[in-house]
Structure 1
Amino acid sequence: MQTLWTLTSHPRPDYTTTGLPSRCDSVIIGAGFTGLTAALHLARAGRSVVVLEAGRLGAGASGTNAGFVVPNFAKADPAAVRARLGNDKADALLSLVGAGGDAVFATIAEEGIDCDGAQTGWLQPAYGDAMARLLQARAQAWQALGRPVEALSAAEVAAETGMSLYSGGLIDRSGGTIHPLNYLFGLAAALTRHGGQLCEHTSVTAVDRAGTGWRVTAGTSQITADSVILATNAFNQGIAGRMGRTGVPLRVYQVATRPVDATVVARIAPHRLPVGDTRQNLFTYRLDRENRLISGGMAVNPVGALSRVGRHVASRLAAELGLPATPGLAAAWTGTAIMTPDFLPRLYRFGEGFFGGIGCNGRGIAMTAQLGRVLAGCALGAPLESQPIPLRQASALPFHRLTPLVASAALIQARLKDRLTRIA
């Protein structure tokens, strides 16, 4: 599948291997943002690391997202997290999540990753007066944690977006945008520079206990390791099903338009802020380095959805942003995100020394930078109970195969709720 990122990326590296070691300190299953970040931290700590990727680098969510770096929660705020976890555990998680954008851009700088990284900030316009008040309280809560978050007035949001329908908003100065595939390639290159090994097209078929460690089987090869990290996100086949079936998969469609002209850019993104509003049927947009608009959406009916949603998103961009015409598309693609039932990240322990992490909930770049670091800490022996991400039991959701129907019903409800909010 061609995405904007495959069309504009650096030359694709080849991590095909003809042989695997018989032993290493840690095996990571999955070479997305989470897995490669965990592997990089372990390699920096002097551990021997092998990352096994069933497909091609970037084939999953790490290569098919929109490149937004958003250091907060999609469906929760500090007050809700405290109500669920209690103040101490909540503050640890909030501090971790709030620093996710800084962690991404620090890695980019430290490893010299060329991925169009731009820490311009992230803007969340408020749809409706009630949401404006909620974002104002949310901004104050993040400020109390030391984060560079501010509430904006309706006029300030209009100045940043050219849109007058919003009642206010929130800006997090530590957010931004990247070219996600080039970021992924950069993480892979950094891992190998630090002595780690990455193997594409290498499916793991079994993970079994072997003495005090683990035996990982991939094809005809077996690796014995002290620790194993499962970082397979929404995939739910084979070994990945241990995590993938614990959340709700969401099929997300992304589009990139042909470049818009400078006068449009000056009106809708004078400071090149990526935007994601508070509507239930979320409206987002950002610019890439060539001034292509990138946005996305979901489909109630998945049949033939890629072209249909692509046209709809382009039309919505034109209508919402007041463009002179519906922009032509440079690329349209799709990927799968995963939502946990409580919209919070979570750690899993599948046995002593065998860990997994999931739950970016639509915040996959900033959250993975922190999730990968926490998983590396677990592999290095840090107590799981002291980690800022909650440790949960890995239980498959009942009727997991029916969750796409639940997502479609939720989208219908969201669109109706947005209409009612606008009428009110």
Structure 2
Amino acid sequence: MPSPAKDTLWTRTARLPAETDGTPPQSVDVAVIGGGFTGLTAARELLIAGRSVAVLEAGQIGAGASGMNAGFVVPNFAKADPNAVRAKLGEQGGNALLRLVGDGANAVFRTIAEDGIDCDARQVGWLNPAFGAASAEMLRARAALWRDLGRPVTFLDADETRQQTGMDIYSGALLDAEGGTIHPLDYLRGLVQSVRRRGGTVHEGQSVDKVTRDGSGWRLTTRSGATLIAKKVLQCTNAFTMGIAARMGRSTVPLRVYQIATSPADADTVRRIAPEGRPVGDTRQNLFTYRLDRDNRLISGGMAAIPFGAFDRLGRTVAERLSSELGLPQAVTPEVVWTGVAAMTPDFLPRLYQMDDGWFGGIGCNGRGIAMTAQLGRVLARAAQGEDPDQLPIPLRPLRPLPFHRFTPIVASAALIQARLKDRFAR
């Protein structure tokens, strides 16, 4: 049986029930390994296309990154601007990926509207404030590049940014009008309902330990002893490195992120720091983020340079940073703290892998988990339907686990310490 749900803001405030299926069917057109945003979006697309689908989730729906994030819906890259993407993939390939990623938020909110998912969806825009003059010029140029692609991205000056955040430390901000926020667990459970309503099945506690050839298809064997025959397999296991997920998970750098939610902010504070209700994530190396939930709780997060005792320590540290950065009238304390793992690729771009004929995997949302997974799931569904992988907007890459993967958390800790030092001189 899957382990009990972790205590998060989302498990405390979810409105949609967690409903899944029992024993997996004997055979389907496509087996999807992983019941997060990517896997469930892919399953939904395949069912719309008339394929039979079963989703096999190792744990409980929402126990991975899809249920542990902060609910930001951001349709761009965390660390790459359009020119960098074109330089990496070429003009044609770069533009194809840029169009895909740029429509990521709209794709999420379209799905929510089409399926009537009650998940506190608010497409009010996303604000990316610039810390320092150099960052402001970088964001001004980045906004222009996105506008050239037809996207509603603008640059706000320092005064406009102060009006949007109540903070006077920023030199400007990029405003992406298509971003927003959701309740991620309700969205995830809504995707489960969507898949089941269309005739697919979703199974918890089905860790896939083995995928072997069975004629022209594949036989999936789970730790519980269940077997399933599928013509195609989609692997959507994100940063997990157990069982069948090991090879793909080890191709990324895992970053453990800690999130907190405070008690609700007062009305004056809400009007000062988020007059339009927009989520915020700045440009600092040790970035500062915040958003409000439906009850005006402040949600923020951070990472720990030293992992020992980080859960309790980071909760206090993030709360103190919220109070200090936002100039709150009184110090806030965490109402709840939770943690999850994000998967980062070396070049900060998403990856599409082909493990074998008819067996595809996708990974690498790089801190843009909700919007990026929506598009990653759609691309995987296209691959499962036989579309030429070389024509897909996410390029097919050889699957190569990172050398010394077990030491990547140490490298990440060192990078975080260096980032904090850089921030001191960036303003």
TM-score range, shorter chain: over 0.9
CA distance in 2, matches of 1:419, 1:366: 31
Do 2:75 and 2:101's aligned partners in 1 also have CA atoms closer than 8 Å?
yes
Instruction: Map Cα deviations across residues 56-80 of structure 1 (whole Å, 9 max, x no partner).
Output: 0000000000000000001111011
CA distance in 1, matches of 2:331, 2:79: 31
Divergent runs of 4+, >3 A: none
Question: Given the alignment of the two structures, is residue 309 of structure 1 paired with residue 286 of structure 2, yes or no?
Answer: no
Aligned twin of 1:193:
197
Aligned twin of 1:405:
410
Aligned twin of 1:158:
162
Aligned twin of 2:390:
385
TM-score by length of 2: 0.98
Matches within 5 A, 1:243-262: 243-262=248-267
The CA deviation at 1:11 is 5.0
CA distance in 1, matches of 2:16, 2:291: 24
- 5+ residue gaps, structure 2: 1-5
The CA deviation at 1:220 is 2.1
Give the counterpart of 2:92 among 88, 91, 94. Answer: 88
Report the RMSD for the aligned CA atoms in angstroms.
0.8
Aligned twin of 2:7:
2
The CA deviation at 1:353 is 0.6
Do 2:16 and 2:189's aligned partners in 1 also have CA atoms closer than 8 Å?
no
The CA deviation at 1:328 is 2.4
Matches within 5 A, 1:258-407: 258-407=263-412
Give the counterpart of 1:181 among 181, 185, 194. Answer: 185
CA distance in 2, matches of 1:163, 1:148: 24
CA distance in 2, matches of 1:254, 1:116: 19
> What secondary structure sits across from 1:87 in the alignment?
helix
Matches within 5 A, 1:31-50: 31-50=35-54
Number of residue pairs the alignment of both structures matches: 421
Do 1:30 and 1:53's aligned partners in 2 also have CA atoms closer than 8 Å?
yes
Give the counterpart of 2:77 among 69, 73, 77. Answer: 73
Matches within 5 A, 1:207-246: 207-218=211-222, 219-246=224-251
Aligned twin of 1:103:
107
CA distance in 1, matches of 2:127, 2:189: 27
The CA deviation at 1:326 is 1.3
Instruction: Map Cα deviations across residues 186-210 of structure 1 (whole Å, 9 max, x no partner).
Output: 0000000000000001111100111
Do 1:227 and 1:353's aligned partners in 2 also have CA atoms closer than 8 Å?
yes
> What secondary structure sits across from 2:122 in the alignment?
coil
CA distance in 2, matches of 1:391, 1:11: 36
Instruction: Map Cα deviations across residues 232-272 of structure 1 (whole Å, 9 max, x no partner).
Output: 00000110112100000000000000001000000000000
Do 2:20 and 2:192's aligned partners in 1 also have CA atoms closer than 8 Å?
no
CA distance in 1, matches of 2:256, 2:27: 37
The CA deviation at 1:113 is 0.2
> What secondary structure sits across from 2:170 in the alignment?
coil
